[in-house]
């Protein structure tokens, strides 16, 4: 999470600011949120599900969607629903600067943020717009399924058909992977919204441990319950993940023991008797 964001007076009185005002209150609130969002980076290109906007502005899904659409219409930003990535097109020039010298330490920071972005349709366009100003050394190309066809020779027709079939299979696999990634990202976003509502700050929907837990079938309520335990001890996001991970590991261990162990009269074993906070450190390890 960034410590601060730069927002100038032109936001209210500039040409785009006037268009946002004319478009309605929702568009102004969404625009200000996108500039100052805790999920934003200095590039203005970042993962931002609409549910984040809805929850953290208080607009609700309908108001957030309406404000976002109108912000797009006036040219303030672009939004890709598939990847849930927003691009506030001019934001980098305000947050980073009009231009950087090659020796400026921010050059590396810009490239690192750019390299860490999830796949989205704006990667090449961002590079085209800012590569010279920010001395960016490399571009992440957006994948394109289209290739210029060449005229086949008779002896090559069968081989080419096989290659086309393989390409189609690869494209289908990529689409399935993208759908799975999108579904996981949406669930991760929902978890983060729920954790914020429980008072857990600095959440990260791209955290590898969170994604691994979701892939293992962890339900949102498990994170919510862990957040309440963490809040009692004034702990944060990593601690919540540590509790959930320990709970699931202990549950799996007890289930495995139950299959092999013989019952002992007068003794009761179960997951309810375990305190999952024991042994969990501040950074979620145990």
Sign of CA dihedral 50, 53, 58, 62: negative
pTM as predicted = 0.52
Maximum Cα interatomic distance, the chain, rounded to a whole number of Å = 82
What is the pLDDT at residue 155? Answer: 46
Closest CA to 249 of 282, 221, 209: 209
The 3-class SS string of the chain reads CCCCCCCCCHHHHCHHHHHHHHHCHHHHHHHHHHHHCCCCCCCCEEECCHHHHHHHHCCHHHHHHHHHHHHHHCCCEEEECCCCEEEECCHHHHHCCCCCCCCCCHHHHHHHHHHCCCCCCCHHHHHHHHCCCCCCCCCCCCCCCCCCCCCCCHHHHHHHHHHHHHHHHHHHHHHHHHHHHHHHHHHHHHHHHHHHHCCCCCCCCCCHHHHHHHHCCCCHHHHHHHHHHHHHCCCCHHHHHHHHHHHHHHHHHHHHHHHHCCCCCCCCCCHHHCCCCCCCCCCCCC
Sheet of 85-88, strands arranged across: 45-47, 85-88, 77-80
State the pLDDT at residue 145: 37
Which residues of the chain carry a pLDDT beneath 50? 144-155
> What pLDDT sits at residue 279?
58
Q: What are phi and psi of 47, to 5 degrees?
A: -75, 125
Assign residue 240 a region (left: φ > 0; alpha: ψ between -120 and 50; beta: otherwise). Answer: alpha
Please list, in sequence order, all residues whose beta carbon lies within 8 angstroms of the beta carbon of residue 64, skipping any fewer than 6 positions away: 26, 30, 50, 53, 54, 57
**pLDDT for position 154:** 43
What pLDDT score does 285 carry?
63
Supply 167's token pair. 């390409």
pLDDT value for 74: 95
- The pLDDT of residue 170 is 80
Per the CB < 8 A criterion, the answer to whether 63 and 18 are in contact is no
What six digits make up the tokens of 86? 């927003």
Strands 77-80 and 45-47: unpaired
Nearest to 52 by CA among 205, 184, 179: 205
Please give the pLDDT value at position 149. 39
pLDDT tens, position by position, 50-59? 999 999 999 9
């Amino acid at each position: 999470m960034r410590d601060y964001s730069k927002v100038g007076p032109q936001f209210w009185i500039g040409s785009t600011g006037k268009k946002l005002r004319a478009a309605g209150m929702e568009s102004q609130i969404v625009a200000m949120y996108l500039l100052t969002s805790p999920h934003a980076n200095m590039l203005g290109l970042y993962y931002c599900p609409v549910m984040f906007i809805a929850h953290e502005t208080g607009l609700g899904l309908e108001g957030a969607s309406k404000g976002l659409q109108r912000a797009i219409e006036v040219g303030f930003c672009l939004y890709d629903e598939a990847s849930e990535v927003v691009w506030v097109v001019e934001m980098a020039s305000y947050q980073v600067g009009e231009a950087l010298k090659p020796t400026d330490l921010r050059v590396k920071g810009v490239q690192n943020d750019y390299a860490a972005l999830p796949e989205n349709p704006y990667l090449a366009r961002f590079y085209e717009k800012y590569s010279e100003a920010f001395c960016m050394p490399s571009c992440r190309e957006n994948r394109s399924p289209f290739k210029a066809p060449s005229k086949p020779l008779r002896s090559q027709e069968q081989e080419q058909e096989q290659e086309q079939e393989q390409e189609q299979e690869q494209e289908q696999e990529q689409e399935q992977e993208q759908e799975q990634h999108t579904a996981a990202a949406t669930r991760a976003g929902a978890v983060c919204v729920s954790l914020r509502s429980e008072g857990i700050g600095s959440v990260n929907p791209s955290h590898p441990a969170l994604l691994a837990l979701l892939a293992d079938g962890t339900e949102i309520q498990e994170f919510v319950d862990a957040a309440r335990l963490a809040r009692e001890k004034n702990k944060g996001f990593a601690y919540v993940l540590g509790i959930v991970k320990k709970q699931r590991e202990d549950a799996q261990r007890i289930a495995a023991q139950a299959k092999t162990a013989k019952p002992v009269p007068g003794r009761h074993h179960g997951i309810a008797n375990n305190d999952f906070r024991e042994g969990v450190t501040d950074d979620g390890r145990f």
